[in-house]
């Protein structure tokens, strides 16, 4: 089995003294695409924040490319190669697209930064013509692209994405996930947390279901899509015509 790029062992984390997530075990290999699905408040954001070091862990360990990172600060984890696109797009609304992107690569030379911005415009062609536009004027989908591109400006090996589809129209969600699929082809590893299980499970190769802070199911997405409990709880109406209710384990889900 190839070496893990990300490994969580028995992770317990939360706010103040109460653990919000507990006994979380997860392993990703390079180039993997994994989805964390769960309802509102299940602990998806908390899990990503624990990986990024934005909240302290109460127990367990996180390692990245074989090195323990549990004691590192957030910026140190980012420097090692973990990019984070948080929920809610958290962009500087009165700064332009380019200015927001540049914040994602503050420590490199200006020539390198410029080259990376150009690369982002190749990955997200819609952003090029908006380079000088303030982010406050962008659509939700465009803002989400900037958020992801900003996380990529540090050239991470692992990208953490929190609810990228929130508030976006179905067509825009499809476009966004098509861009993420392209990124996977470049060798990037992607961990995405989503309430929108439909989009996330179509994209990811493996998934973990989080319920009330605990992992209740984990496996290849075709297996989860063939599980009636997952379909009923997270995909619901409309799944029938996609054939998901009857998808056999091991069948392709795309």
Q: Which residues form the interface with ligand ATP (CB under 6 A)? A: 15, 20, 38, 40-46, 87, 195
CB–CB of 137/167 below 8 Å?
no
Question: Which sign does the torsion angle of CA 68, 74, 79, 81 carry?
Answer: positive
Q: 131 is written with which tokens? A: 């380079």
- In this complex, which beta carbon is closest to ligand ATP, that of residue 43 or of residue 222? 43
As measured in angstroms, the least distance from the Cβ of 39 to ligand ATP is: 7
Minimum CB–partner distance for residue 198 and ligand ATP (Å): 15
Write down the least CB distance from residue 187 to ligand ATP, Å.
27
Helix (H, G, I), strand (E, B) or coil at 218: strand
| Alpha-carbon separation of residue 20 from 13, 112, 179 (angstroms) | 6, 40, 32
Nearer to ligand ATP, 195 or 216 (CB): 195
Smallest distance from ligand ATP to CB 44, Å: 4
CA–CA separation, 209 vs 221, rounded Å?
A: 11
Nearest residue to 26 (alpha-carbon basis) of 36, 41, 40: 36
> Whose Cβ is closer to ligand ATP: residue 87's or residue 134's?
87
């Amino acid at each position: 089995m190839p070496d893990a790029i990300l490994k969580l062992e028995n992770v317990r984390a939360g706010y103040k003294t109460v653990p919000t997530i507990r006994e979380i075990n997860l392993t990703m290999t390079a180039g993997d695409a994994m989805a964390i699905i769960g309802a509102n408040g299940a602990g998806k954001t908390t899990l990503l924040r624990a990986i990024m070091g934005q909240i302290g862990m109460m127990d367990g360990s996180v390692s990245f490319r074989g090195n323990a990172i549990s004691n590192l600060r957030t910026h140190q984890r980012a420097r090692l190669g973990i990019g984070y696109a948080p929920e809610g797009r958290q962009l500087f609304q009165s700064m332009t697209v380019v200015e927001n992107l540049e914040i994602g690569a503050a420590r490199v030379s200006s020539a390198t930064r410029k080259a990376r911005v150009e690369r982002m415009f190749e990955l997200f062609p819609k952003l090029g013509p908006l380079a000088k536009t303030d982010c406050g004027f962008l659509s939700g989908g465009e803002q989400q692209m900037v958020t992801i591109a900003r996380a990529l400006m540090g050239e991470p090996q692992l990208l953490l994405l929190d609810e990228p589809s929130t508030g976006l129209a179905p067509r825009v969600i499809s476009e966004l996930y098509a861009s993420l699929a392209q990124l996977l082809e470049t060798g990037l590893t992607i961990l995405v947390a989503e309430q929108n299980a439909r989009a996330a499970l179509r994209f990811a190769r493996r998934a973990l279901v989080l319920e009330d802070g605990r992992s209740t199911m984990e496996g290849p997405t075709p297996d989860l899509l063939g599980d009636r409990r997952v379909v009923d709880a997270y995909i619901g109406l409309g799944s029938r015509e996609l054939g998901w209710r009857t998808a056999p384990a091991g069948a392709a889900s795309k």
